[in-house]
Amino acid sequence: MSSNKGTAMGGGGEEREHRSPRMSERVSASGSTSQSCIFCRIAKKELPSEFVHEDEQCVAFRDVNPQAPVHWLIVPKRHVERLHDLTEADRPLLGHLVLTARLMAERAGVAESGYRLVVNNGDDGGQTVPHLHLHLLGGRAMRWPPG
Ligand code: AMP
């Protein structure tokens, strides 16, 4: 289990201190495909990454730009652009992702100290990669409200 070696897509920007560009500026909602999607390509092992977890439905790997000592991403293999695209039929997938995050918290050693699960949805949610993912953040005390 070591750092992800893929290409970072986060970074500084004008409107946002720590995120740019906005999701809608980089990849249109309708234009995002599994062929062009960085997380699809990581999940399909077309881009280098070291998974901390893989099963039939999802993968987990370290965030390339960690915001906490533990910052792992739980990513469905199926291309779903954002949380808000999920439907009633996706209850099992969503449950699986959350329970996988729980398992990852155990694996990362933060289950007892505490952790935060984050899903950024759309531009104002701060989403920069248009493929649904859960952030597992831990290893330090989180602040509230978030930035
Ligand atoms: P979000 O802003 O919620 O869409 O989160 C996207 C996250 O993906 C950011 O925290 C990025 O640092 C992270 N990220 C982007 N590209 C990669 C990559 N190739 N490998 C690992 N993490 C990545």
What domain count does the chain have?
1
Mention every residue, 6+ apart, whose C-beta is less than 8 A from residue 63. 4, 71, 72, 73, 135
pLDDT score recorded for residue 78: 97
pLDDT score recorded for residue 23: 58
* Tens-digit pLDDT profile for residues 75-119: 999 999 999 999 999 999 999 999 999 999 999 999 999 999 999
The neighbour count for residue 58, using CB atoms within 10 Å, is 23
pLDDT score recorded for residue 35: 81
The residue whose CA has the least distance to atom 12 of ligand 1 is: 65
The residue whose CA has the least distance to atom 18 of ligand 1 is: 6
Question: Is 116 part of a structural domain of the chain?
Answer: yes
- Ligand 1, closest atom to CA 38? 19
- Domain containing 53: what range? 23-138
Hey, is 90 helix, strand or coil? helix
Ligand 1, pocket residues at CB < 6 Å: 4, 6-10, 19, 38, 61, 63-65, 73, 120, 126-129
pLDDT above 90: percentage of residues in the chain: 76
Question: Is 17 part of a structural domain of the chain?
Answer: no
Question: Is 126 part of a structural domain of the chain?
Answer: yes
pLDDT score recorded for residue 32: 52
pLDDT band, very low/low/confident/very high, at 22 (cuts 50, 70, 90): low
Question: Is 6 part of a structural domain of the chain?
Answer: no
Please determine, for residue 72, whether its predicted confidence score (pLDDT) is greater than 80.
Answer: yes
